[in-house]
Structure 1
Amino acid sequence: MKNLHFLFQFFSKARIRASKGSLRINYQASASAYRRFLIGAAAALILTVSALSGCSPAPKDPISSSQFMLDTFVTVTLYDTQDEEILKNCFQKIRHYEDIFSTTIDTSEVYRLNHRTADQTEFDLSDDTAALLAEAIRYSEVSDGDYDVTVEPLSSLWNFSGGRKDLPDDGEIREAVSKVDYKNIRLEGNHLTFLSPDTTIDLGSIAKGYIADRLKDDLTAQGVKSAIINLGGNVLCIGQKGKDPFKIGLQKPFADRSETFAALRINDQSVVSSGVYERNFFVDGKNYHHILNPKSGYPYDNGLINVTIVSDRSVDGDALSTTCFSMGLERGMELINRMDGVYGYFLTDDYVVHYTDGAKDLVEQVDLPEEKK
């Protein structure tokens, strides 16, 4: 806890400049909520970016900035430009999307949808909300509801993002489950229709990926060819670092944050993980985590403890890491193997790593047993 408190003080709105083996850090204190930081920090530590290692130096000294946004710790690092204005604009863009997709900011579009009156059933959405919701509906359909965009009644009840540490009542869970069914929303273009007054949506399991993709679009349009966007553990790499790929470490579950079970070589791709050791609590020795089964109302208990997805689009990785975790090892791996340019790493509770087709080619090292074929 003390270490996380130090990180909170050190990194809140920190501005970091790396120069030939040294780091120059300009620090400004932030008033961000400490409790929310602790929750977000757990998620942010799932992936470790080892971008400063490697043999080939980047063409220029990188610049980096970190802030607490999206209920987590986010960092953007630019390797081939020192334009501070570009960096500043990234965080303005992140805040813009948070103000649209948040379920708790009372002026956001999603909040207004979820707090509509009983007679309000049809809405014309903004382009971004419509595009993101369409992706979420698609993955709800692919998983046959094991992943469900209308899980909001359950996620609000369990309230992992708010730091809840006790079990909801069975009756409360059953009531919330009765309100969850992605088939109760219909999206045609930008036009959304709610078929049930009890239906509410939660885009939190997919929004960071969408935001990262939009940031990449903006950065590449401005000529940036080497960067890392890290939105609380959702990592999107633009290009590579000099002549070398970026190295992304996957945190070993329930271990010190510096311990990794694998290192991946990533070039212009996204890496997203979902695991049972973030946003979780224990009751009577049982782990209750934030990946909720929309059909039972309780966290999934299917033998998986981590799913990591490498993909070109971060929105796919964000959605698939949760979707594949929800579908379980066999169905999740089958889904990834049907997709082009997507790779999966499934870590089971016996600490064995299972690879989808081609996934092992990206691995630089692995420190856990691998599936025997």
Structure 2
Amino acid sequence: MKKKSLAALALVLALFLGILWHLHGTKESKKPLERSGFLFDTVIAVSLYDKQDEAVLDEAFQLLEQYEEIFSPTKSESELYRMNHRGSGVTTWKASPAMLDMVKLGLRYSELSDGAFDVTVLPLSSLWNFSGGEAKVPAEADIETAVSKVDYRHVRIDGDVIDFGDDFTQIDSGSTAKGYIADRLKDFLVEKGVKSAIINLGGNVLCIGEKAKGKPFQIAIRKPEEHSNEVVKILDIDGLSVVSSGVYERFFDLDGVHYHHILNPRTGYPYQNGLVSVTIVGPSSAECDALSTAVFSLGREEGMALLEKTEGYYGYIILEDGSILASAGAQPGKNP
């Protein structure tokens, strides 16, 4: 089943990149220097448009591997895993700068959404299996127990120490870490003199500069269905990130109900609020990552209100009926 899951992820990325590179196609003979891999439980890719330097890609992927050793939720030696399994009676954790930044980001959006998005949702999200295998809804008693352990208000930060207030509160990095890592990878590439590149961490897309002089990258928003290669909107992107959250990424269907990975921390079940995807565009991939999940969690009206008061960011909400809502300041985009 693991191989099946990997194959599915590879297909999703291939479909996405196929659209992306097709949209970028020009008569230029110079192709980008590309490399892909599997990290953070997803397929990733880095493409350099103005540098043909394998050494830069070598260092870039070494940096990505270092961040996996910090943020992996499943590797027992990672900082995140050790922090979340800190042991009976242990309520504090002396965190690395990267971990502090990621937790602060999650706490800020937990507060902005009044807990509709909650960075401490891991006891709940770990009950649900959206990665393949038997489609099964967790037992009601287990969900109730997990919900009682989710509350971002338990967490306090003092200097470089995270105080959880108890020994069971855990941090879920699923809506924050990839965006944070994409931003740090951008910093590294820019330091190396890269002026034109695309970073794709499992659909978290960050563009450095523009594709060619005067020509922005064109990023496609796909129809929010599994394996779909249908494009609903094309965006011109210059130096910004594009991040989507939706019901089609990790899910299963059982007895006529669509269960997806964006969970309501108050009920323990996936949100059923009429939204199927949220796409956010802005300068920071980390902000886009957290904001996309927070907007989805808040729903149509409250989510759009949060987005429109977030300066420098805009986005699109796709509803179950296929209609698209754009925030104030959003570019109209192009029809495919």
TM-score calculated relative to the size of structure 2:
0.94
Alpha-carbon offset, residue 72 of structure 1? 0.5
Indicate if the aligned counterparts of 1:42 and 1:279 stay in contact, CA closer than 8 A: no
Partner residue in 2 for 1:18: none
- Quick one: which of 254, 267, 279 aligns to 1:283? 254
Counterparts in 2 of 1:255 and 1:294: CA distance versus 1, 3 Å: closer
Indicate if the aligned counterparts of 1:146 and 1:326 stay in contact, CA closer than 8 A: yes
- Quick one: which of 271, 283, 293 aligns to 1:312? 283
SS of the residue corresponding to residue 334 of structure 2 reads strand
SS of the residue corresponding to residue 157 of structure 1 reads coil
Structure 2 residue 250 is matched with structure 1 residue 301: no
- Quick one: which of 123, 126, 144 aligns to 1:174? 144
Partner residue in 1 for 2:3: 34
- Quick one: which of 93, 100, 110 aligns to 1:130? 100
Across the aligned residues of Structure 1 and Structure 2, the Cα RMSD in angstroms comes to 2.0
Identical pairs, percent: 48
SS of the residue corresponding to residue 160 of structure 1 reads coil
Provide the rounded CA distance (Å) in 2 between the counterparts of 1:348 and 1:200.
Answer: 31
**Aligned pairs, how many?**
334
Provide the rounded CA distance (Å) in 2 between the counterparts of 1:36 and 1:100.
Answer: 23
Provide the rounded CA distance (Å) in 1 between the counterparts of 2:288 and 2:70.
Answer: 21
The within-5 A match list for 1:235-246 is 235-242=205-212, 243-246=214-217
Partner residue in 1 for 2:327: 356
SS of the residue corresponding to residue 199 of structure 2 reads strand
Provide the rounded CA distance (Å) in 1 between the counterparts of 2:315 and 2:62.
Answer: 32
Q: Which is worse superposed, 111-120 or 302-311?
A: 111-120
Alpha-carbon offset, residue 197 of structure 1? 2.0
Provide the rounded CA distance (Å) in 2 between the counterparts of 1:107 and 1:162.
Answer: 24
Partner residue in 1 for 2:164: 194
SS of the residue corresponding to residue 187 of structure 1 reads strand
Counterparts in 2 of 1:88 and 1:52: CA distance versus 1, 3 Å: farther
Alpha-carbon offset, residue 178 of structure 1? 0.6
Indicate if the aligned counterparts of 1:55 and 1:244 stay in contact, CA closer than 8 A: no
Q: Give CA-to-partner distance per residue, 1:178-223, whole Å, 9 cap, x none.
A: 1100111111231111112221111121100000000000000110
- Quick one: which of 104, 112, 118 aligns to 1:148? 118
Structure 2 residue 327 is matched with structure 1 residue 327: no
Structure 2 residue 155 is matched with structure 1 residue 185: yes
TM-score calculated relative to the size of structure 1:
0.85
Indicate if the aligned counterparts of 1:206 and 1:315 stay in contact, CA closer than 8 A: yes
Alpha-carbon offset, residue 164 of structure 1? 5.2
Superposed structure 1 runs of 4+ greater than 6 Å apart: none
Indicate if the aligned counterparts of 1:237 and 1:270 stay in contact, CA closer than 8 A: yes
Partner residue in 2 for 1:94: 64
Indicate if the aligned counterparts of 2:70 and 2:80 stay in contact, CA closer than 8 A: yes
SS of the residue corresponding to residue 55 of structure 2 reads helix
Provide the rounded CA distance (Å) in 2 between the counterparts of 1:365 and 1:53.
Answer: 12
SS of the residue corresponding to residue 50 of structure 1 reads helix
Provide the rounded CA distance (Å) in 2 between the counterparts of 1:309 and 1:218.
Answer: 23
Partner residue in 2 for 1:84: 54
Partner residue in 2 for 1:220: 190
Indicate if the aligned counterparts of 1:245 and 1:266 stay in contact, CA closer than 8 A: yes
Provide the rounded CA distance (Å) in 2 between the counterparts of 1:71 and 1:162.
Answer: 13
Q: Give CA-to-partner distance per residue, 1:105-126, whole Å, 9 cap, x none.
A: 0001111111112221122110
Provide the rounded CA distance (Å) in 1 between the counterparts of 2:71 and 2:25.
Answer: 40
Q: What are structure 1's unaligned runs of at least 5 residues?
A: 2-32, 367-373
Indicate if the aligned counterparts of 1:46 and 1:251 stay in contact, CA closer than 8 A: no
SS of the residue corresponding to residue 318 of structure 1 reads helix
Name the amino acid aligned to 2:285: S
Provide the rounded CA distance (Å) in 2 between the counterparts of 1:54 and 1:336.
Answer: 28
SS of the residue corresponding to residue 249 of structure 2 reads coil
Name the amino acid aligned to 2:252: F
Provide the rounded CA distance (Å) in 2 between the counterparts of 1:118 and 1:320.
Answer: 33
Counterparts in 2 of 1:214 and 1:223: CA distance versus 1, 3 Å: same
SS of the residue corresponding to residue 281 of structure 1 reads strand
